[in-house]
Structure 1
Amino acid sequence: MTMMKAAVVSAPGGPDVLKLEHRPLPVPEKGWVRIAVKAFGINRSEMFTRQGHSPSVTFPRILGIEAVGVIDEAPGGEFQRGEIVATVMGGMGRQYDGGYAEYTRVPARQVRRVETKLPWSTLGALPEMLQTAWGVLFSGLRLQKTDRLLIRGGTTSVGMAAISIAKAWGAHVSATTRRKERAPALWECGSDRVIVDDGKISAGAYRFDKVLELVGTTALEDSLLCADRGGLVCMSGMVGNKWAIDHFAPMDSIPNRVSLTTYSGEPTDFLEMPFQELVDDVAAGRLTIRVGRVFQFDQIVEAHQCMEDNAAEGKIVVVI
C-alpha cells in the first residue's frame, strides 16, 4: 500500500495536537481528483476547528481548507496529470480530509487550473485569501468605484489583499491597524488612509459607504457606527477570536438605515472569481499581496502557533 505523510488531529487542543503520520494514499473515484500538494495556506477557521469549535467536524481529521499543487490522478478526465491547480473549501478539512498532506482527494468541481511561474510559497498563499477578499468586496459589499471603504483589520492577510484589490478598482480605501508601526505595510498595499485602531474609531470624523469587518464581533458594533446613512457593513473575519456578541440588541447596535451582512464564501465563488487574472496581477506586481511566514511541512505545529500568536503579519504558508 502506497503511503503519504499527513498532519492529523486526533483530538482537539493546542497546536501540538497536529501530528505528522503516515496515511494510505487517498484513492479518487470518478468525479474526484487526487492532487499532489505543493503548498497550502493556514487559515483561522482551521485553528478554530483544531481547538474543537467546529461541532460538525469529527476526529481524527486531516485539516486544511485549501491547497495548491499538481494533478496526480483524475479518473473522470476533467484534468491532465501534472496540471497546476488550486482548490478551496467545499468540505475540505471538515467533511473529508483536507490539504495538510502530501496528497489530497477533492471533488473535481472545486478545482481550478492555473498557469503561473510563481513559486509555490507565493501561489500557496492565494486561493482562500483572494477568494475571500474578492468575494467580500464585490459580493458581500457590492463595492463601487466611488465608494469610501473602511477595512477594519487591515493587517490581516485578507485585509491587505482587499486593500490592493479595492484600490485598483478605484475606491478610496482606509484601513486600520492596532499598532502604528504596521502602518507602512498598509501604505504599501495601497491604502489611502491608515487609522490606528483604539477600539473606538467611530468617535472620529470619518464615515464610510462600505465597511469590511475582519476583526469580528469585538469590533462590529463600533464598525457599524462608522457607516454613513445607507452604508453597508460586511463581517467576514474573526481575528478577535470571539464568536458572539453578548446581549446584542439589533435596534440599538445597528444604526438607522445601515445594512449588516456576512460573507464566508463557497466553492462556486472560487470558480466564478477571476482567479487566473489575479494570479497574473500578483506575478506582474500589479497586485500587492503579503506572505507573512513560510514553514516547511514538518513545522506545522510552529505554523499554527504563529497564527495563534498573531505573529505572521501576512499569510502563513506551508510548503511540501
Structure 2
Amino acid sequence: MDRRDLLANEQIGRLLWRLSLPAIIGMLVQASYNIVDAIFIGRGVGPLGLAGTAIVFPLQLLSTSLAITIGVGGSSLISRSLGAGKHSYANKALGNMVFLSFIFSFSLFSIGFFTRQYILRLFGATPAIFPYAEEYLEVILFGLPFVGFGMAANHAARSEGNARVAMISMLISAILNIILDPIFIFKLKLGIRGAAIATVLSQIAMAIWMVHYFFFSKKSLLSLSLSSITPQWETIKEILSVGVSEFVRMASGSIIIVFLNNSLIYYGSDISVAVYGILHRALSFFFMPIIGVAQGLQPILGFNYGAGDYKRARDVTHLAIGAASIIAFIASVICWFMPEKVVGLLQQILFF
C-alpha cells in the first residue's frame, strides 16, 4: 500500500503503532548511547571530563532546538501539503528546511567558535573544568551543520510516513558513536577530544544517510534538488511559525541548565556538575518513548488535517495522548520505586 494511502486509510491504532515503534526504537538507542558515552568518558577521562560535557550541553541543546524548530515546522508543512495534494509545495518545504538548517548551523558555529571561552565561563566552567569543556566544544562545533541537516531531514522522512528511514539514521549515528568512542578515547588516547570526534563522525554518517535517501534512493515521496533549496520567505515564515513554540520550549531548557550548572558549582563542586549531567542522561531514557509516540503522531495528524479529515486527525491525537500518558505513568513508577538503580548507574560511571 502506498504511504499516502496508509496515512489516509489505515486503522489509526495500527498506523500509530507502525509509525511510533521505529521512532521509539531510534530514540531509545540514542538514549542508550548517551549513557554508554558517559561511561566511556567517565572511565577514560574522569569526572572532570563528564563535567566538561555537562557545561557544553546547553549549547548542544540550543543547536538541537534550532534543528527541531525546523524539523517540526517543516514536517508539519510537508504532511499537510501531501494530504492536500500539493506535492510541489511539499518539495519546496523540504528544500527550505535544508536551507534554514545550514543558515542556523553556520551562524551558531561562528558565534560558538569565536566566543567559546566567554560562553564556557558564562555556562559555569571552573578553572578545573574549563580545559575539558573547551577541548570538547572546539570539536563538537564542527558537527553542527551535519546534525542540523540530519535532524531536519530525519523529520522530513518521518513526515512522509517513512519512519523506518528516520529510525535507521538514528541507529547509524548512535551505534557508530558507541563503536568509535573506545577507539578514540582509549586506543588513540585522545581523551575528551576523542569523544567529541566520535560524536561528530557519527553525525556526519547520519547526514550522509539522509542525503542518500533524498537525492539518490528514489524511495522518497519528496524530491530534494538544488532549485528547491532556493529560499522562499512565505515558506520559511510558515515553517518557523509552527516550529517556534518548540524552540522556546527547548531553549528555555538550555537556559535552565546553565543556571543549574552555575548553582551546582556555587553550592556544590565540580563533581556535582558531573553527577547532574549523568542524571540528566539517565532520566532522558524514560522520556524517549513519549517523544517517539509524538513523532509517530505527527505525519498522521498533519496528513489528515491537510486532507480535511478532521475526525481522523482528532481521534489519532486522543489515542496518542492516551498512549503517552500510560508510558509517562509507568516511567514515573519506575523512577519513584527504584531510584537506587539510577544511583547505582552513577556509581559505576564515576567510580565512587
Identify the TM-score tier after normalising by the shorter chain: under 0.3
- Structure 1 or 2, whichever has the larger Rg, is 2
Indicate the structure with greater strand content: 1
TM norm structure 1: 0.22
Indicate the structure with greater helix content: 2
TM norm structure 2: 0.21
Q: Which has the higher contact order (CA 8 A, sep 6+)?
A: 2
